[in-house]
Structure 1
């Protein structure tokens, strides 16, 4: 089954076209990466899928259902997004309990206390953090809250926008190990944006390389690890990432 299907996706902001004919199929249960330099259109693709960049042409389907332009409550139960900056993505005046309960309130889902504690446990957060505020948590703990919030509605797909780039290297490894475990335990599908190829090697099965809003190559991670990417720009990215090791537990 295909979890995410993109066909001839052209995304614009005003009169500026950001992506050109992006076409991808991502299998259910896969972990797929979009890589490329800043401004290549990677995050814009995620935003279009999530309904945060509604000016697009082409086709977006999630679990076989065509995506509308904009926010869709039914879609939010299938697919959620984790943002890059755990410092900015959480409301500073809301406790962790309020932040995690909010999606349940919106969708009229009960038994909230139990679900909040279960999800906190799933992402490795002690229950004592439940009634704290974001400023009382470390960056890694805040990103765990952001991941927990994305999981509250039990979606099958997570869109990950540079989920570790704002964190220290040792904390990055903790979050990546968490994401790998959650995918295995919950059968999740990941579409991740990153510029860090060691992260792709650790977490993903396949990748697409973007440049100037276009996909220039789609490859298996085995090709990345072997250094056998074909497109000249892909090989430039690979050369630029050499020497950047990823610590993992």
Structure 2
């Protein structure tokens, strides 16, 4: 059974279709990347899986359960999203403790104080950060909080929307190492959106290359590392990455 299954997925914003006939099967424990230029539909797919893009047709299944349109509490408990911007994704007037406790309160889960302390430790934050506000943290610390919030319900799946692109280069490696460790320790499945092929090489097992809302190629990371992508557009992405280094 695939952890995430997408079949003939079309997604629209109003009269504009932005994702066309996407089919994907992501295995349990796999780290899978969607790559491509801006506007190719990558983040839209994550939003549909998370219940944030309700205008879609086809099939979306998470952990063997078909996703309905809109918010699905059962799916949300098992599948959480980490957003790109650590500045905009945290409520500026809530302490870190309140932010991490909120998912537990919504789902009626107790032992909140102990769970918050344990999760701060898991993402490498000292307990002194617990009652601070987001503006008192650095960008990297904020993203650690965002990851901690996503993990509070002990989900099996994380949807990662450009989780390091808004961070300084020196901080990006810390967050990527954290994500790699958490995946190993907690047996997580990742579906990540990125335009950064070196990040894919470090964190992922497979990737799908997208262009204009369609998948043009699915490949292993080993194929990426050895320059063995076959689609013309995939090769253009690789060449652009090499040129920018």
Instruction: State the TM-score, normalized to the length of structure 2.
Output: 0.99
Equivalence map 1:145-224=2 (5 Å): 145-224=145-224
Match of 2:37 in 1: 37
Equivalence map 1:117-132=2 (5 Å): 117-132=117-132
Retained in 2: the 8 A contact 1:198–1:244? no
SS in 1 for 2:181: helix
CA–CA separation in structure 2 for the residues paired with 1:122 and 1:115? 10
Match of 1:226 in 2: 226
CA–CA separation in structure 1 for the residues paired with 2:244 and 2:2? 33
Match of 1:239 in 2: 239
Match of 2:95 in 1: 95
CA–CA separation in structure 1 for the residues paired with 2:187 and 2:243? 32
Q: Any gaps of 5 or more consecutive residues in structure 1?
A: none
Match of 1:10 in 2: 10
CA–CA separation in structure 2 for the residues paired with 1:244 and 1:146? 29
SS in 1 for 2:155: coil
- Per the TM alignment, residue 147 of structure 1 is displaced from its structure 2 partner at its CA by 0.1
- Per the TM alignment, residue 187 of structure 1 is displaced from its structure 2 partner at its CA by 0.3
Retained in 2: the 8 A contact 1:46–1:161? yes
- Per the TM alignment, residue 75 of structure 1 is displaced from its structure 2 partner at its CA by 1.0
- Per the TM alignment, residue 244 of structure 1 is displaced from its structure 2 partner at its CA by 5.4
Cα deviation, 1:146-179, whole Å, max 9, x if unaligned, reads: 0000000000000000000000011000000000
CA–CA separation in structure 1 for the residues paired with 2:243 and 2:153? 39
Q: Any gaps of 5 or more consecutive residues in structure 2?
A: none
Match of 1:135 in 2: 135
CA–CA separation in structure 2 for the residues paired with 1:244 and 1:126? 36
Match of 1:112 in 2: 112
Runs of 4+ aligned residues of structure 1 deviating over 6 Å after TM superposition are none
Cα deviation, 1:36-55, whole Å, max 9, x if unaligned, reads: 00000000000000000000
Q: How many residues align?
A: 245
- Per the TM alignment, residue 19 of structure 1 is displaced from its structure 2 partner at its CA by 0.4
CA–CA separation in structure 1 for the residues paired with 2:70 and 2:206? 28
CA–CA separation in structure 2 for the residues paired with 1:141 and 1:126? 10
CA–CA separation in structure 2 for the residues paired with 1:27 and 1:158? 13
CA–CA separation in structure 2 for the residues paired with 1:106 and 1:64? 24
> What value does the CA root-mean-square deviation take over the aligned residues?
0.7
